[in-house]
Structure 1
Amino acid sequence: MESFLLGALNPIAFTLGPIEVHWYGIIIASAVVLAVYFSVREGKRRGIIEDDVYDMLLWALPFSIVSARAYYVIFQWSYYSRHLNEIYRIWDGGIAIYGALIGALITVVVFCRKRMIPPMLMLDVIAPTVIMAQGIGRWGNFMNQEAYGAVTSLAFLQKLYIPSFIIQQMNIQGAYRQPTFLYESIWDLAGFVLLLCLRRREHLFKRGEVFFSYVLWYAFGRFFIEQMRTDSLMLGALRVSQWLSLFLFVGAIAVWILRRYWKPLEPWYVEGITKFDK
């Protein structure tokens, strides 16, 4: 029981003079590096050259960060309208993953069109690594004590058989909270493993369908996990992210079915770039 007497973990990893380096930033940066590494390896197998992946990242990363912060600020405008000087402070947390995904998706499509790379193939290549990065990135929320759920009891958390340092970090403002960051991290990493196991199977995924599988998996899990969170913006009977998850889930299924009907000759994912793409 002594471990439960410890305080919350320090969100600041170290300082360089007046600069504070937060664990949040370190974790997010580490997730991005791993995602790029795995994307480059898979891209080579599908005929996408390494430099194209790096160049895409140089465009997608800043746009996704800006759109992620903009999404969060827009839906928290009642607060930020009174604290304009905090809008840019992303190292304190407060970036919305759906905002990042929207910004990254637009950037990838535009970039691929200009480089004459099939956009859906690029999305297939990076989709598993994106959900991996999302799973790792949730630990940045953990360090900042955010993205948590409703009040619960110490006994409930102990029954989950999770490490004591996670339980203690979920003691927020004098009450234990549901570790929804952990639920989503596990769900995302499970999706990453599943996509890795399935995506290279012959005659399973047409081009674009690895990406649709990612959307379906993430949206399904996020819909239910979001219900447990207490820091989400409501829109009618559901939270904003739940509405978006529902839209993406239904939309991905619809597009998947329609593409199979309208484009029966679409290449298989494992074929990579074909002579018809050149």
Structure 2
Amino acid sequence: MHNELLKIGSITIYSYGLMIAIGILAAYLVAEYRAKRKGLDSEPVFSIMICAVVCGFAGAKLLYYITILDEIIKDPHVLVTDLADGFVVYGGIIAGILCTALFCRIKKLSFLSYMDLILPSVALAQGFGRIGCFLAGCCYGVETDSAFSVTFHDSAYAPNGVALFPSQLVSSGLDFIHFAVLCVVAKKNKTPGRIGALYLIFYSIGRFCIEFFRGDLLRGSVGTLSTSQFISIFVAIAGAIMYGVLSLHKAENTDTDHTHDDAGK
């Protein structure tokens, strides 16, 4: 496709990297804007985003290495052959959340409130990132006879000259919808943490489904499921439990407040 967008001397601007950069910038600007609208201190947002991005990339790389552990044992040189390729998104999500939790604990900030603030922006960044995947040709879909397809002709990742399901564009569309839905729900949400829980649930369901249409099989598998599908099950369950516990806690607090009001009468 258009992996190399521009060359200036020895410097090459790649479409994937550019879309990642646009996604991160958009995520930060939206998070800062929403922080001000919600009455949260916007000053820590930049630091949280930087920490989450750095830890996220490290976590995504680490999980990728875990999925190819057999190859690494056979040839440790794989670890340094191409540090720019090979990431598993779930590793980035998990590492980013843990990093945010640690940052909030150190700075004595409300982790649940800032998680609700940041995760919709993560969905937005993922939408741009998947466009980068499409332009680069990675994360490609399965072969298809459908008219709803894309054919790569000069990709270093996807098979060329073959009609493929446009899994990257579908994923991107789902990510942008995910972002919009979370922002709408967040406007009415009064319980910190539930937006973060919904992110985990929605993303896991979408990722589990889209994996059936992915054609790149180098990301490992657990039985008949891909690594990401296997992880999706547990992340979705964790999100559902988190949402249920927070909602139950909210209901108990509401009942307690009503009891106190009745007693005051």
- TM category (shorter chain) comes to 0.7 to 0.9
Q: Does 1:208 align with 2:201?
A: no
Q: Does 1:71 align with 2:63?
A: yes
Are the aligned partners of 1:131 and 1:188 in contact in 2 as well (CA < 8 Å)? yes
The code of the aligned residue for 2:245 comes to L
Q: Which residue of 1 aligns with 2:207?
A: 222
Decide whether aligned partners of structure 1 residues 111 and 265 sit closer, same or farther in structure 2, where only a CA change above 3 A counts.
Answer: farther
Decide whether aligned partners of structure 1 residues 214 and 235 sit closer, same or farther in structure 2, where only a CA change above 3 A counts.
Answer: same
Are the aligned partners of 2:141 and 2:213 in contact in 1 as well (CA < 8 Å)? yes
Q: 1:73 offset after TM fit, Å?
A: 2.2
Decide whether aligned partners of structure 1 residues 88 and 208 sit closer, same or farther in structure 2, where only a CA change above 3 A counts.
Answer: farther
Q: Does 1:199 align with 2:192?
A: no
Identify the match of residue 172 of structure 1 among 155, 159, 172: 159
Aligned residue pairs total 248
Q: How many angstroms apart in 2 are the aligned matches of 1:24 and 1:50?
A: 29
CA deviation digits over 1:8-63, x for unaligned, max 9? x2311222332322111111011000000000011122333232011112322211
Are the aligned partners of 1:14 and 1:21 in contact in 2 as well (CA < 8 Å)? yes
What does residue range 1-278 of structure 1 map to in structure 2 within 5 Å? Answer: 9-80=1-72, 82=75, 84=77, 87=80, 89-91=82-84, 93-153=85-145, 156=146, 158=147, 160=148, 166-168=150-152, 172-201=159-188, 204-230=189-215, 231=217, 232-262=219-249, 264=251
CA RMSD of aligned residues (A): 2.3
Q: 1:78 offset after TM fit, Å?
A: 3.9
TM-score between both structures, scaled by the size of structure 2? 0.84
The code of the aligned residue for 2:36 comes to K
SS at 1:152's partner residue? coil
The code of the aligned residue for 1:257 comes to G
Structure with greater contact order relative to length (CA < 8 Å, sep ≥ 6): 1
Q: How many angstroms apart in 1 are the aligned matches of 2:82 and 2:8?
A: 18
> Structure 1 stretch 17-26 or stretch 167-176: which is displaced more?
167-176
Structure 2 unaligned blocks of 5 or more: 255-265
State the identity as a percent: 24
Structure 1 unaligned blocks of 5 or more: 1-8, 268-278
Q: How many angstroms apart in 1 are the aligned matches of 2:58 and 2:211?
A: 23
Q: 1:189 offset after TM fit, Å?
A: 0.9
Q: 1:222 offset after TM fit, Å?
A: 0.5
Q: 1:74 offset after TM fit, Å?
A: 2.0
Aligned structure 1 segments of 4 or more residues deviating by more than 6 angstroms: none
SS at 2:13's partner residue? strand
Are the aligned partners of 2:152 and 2:162 in contact in 1 as well (CA < 8 Å)? no
CA deviation digits over 1:110-132, x for unaligned, max 9? 10111111101001011111111
> Structure 1 stretch 227-236 or stretch 31-40: which is displaced more?
227-236
Q: 1:149 offset after TM fit, Å?
A: 1.9
Q: How many angstroms apart in 1 are the aligned matches of 2:120 and 2:39?
A: 17
Q: How many angstroms apart in 1 are the aligned matches of 2:170 and 2:54?
A: 28
Are the aligned partners of 2:207 and 2:232 in contact in 1 as well (CA < 8 Å)? yes
Are the aligned partners of 1:206 and 1:266 in contact in 2 as well (CA < 8 Å)? no
> Structure 1 stretch 28-37 or stretch 47-56: which is displaced more?
47-56
Q: How many angstroms apart in 2 are the aligned matches of 1:183 and 1:77?
A: 30
The code of the aligned residue for 2:241 comes to A
Q: Which residue of 1 aligns with 2:262?
A: none
Q: Which residue of 2 aligns with 1:273?
A: none
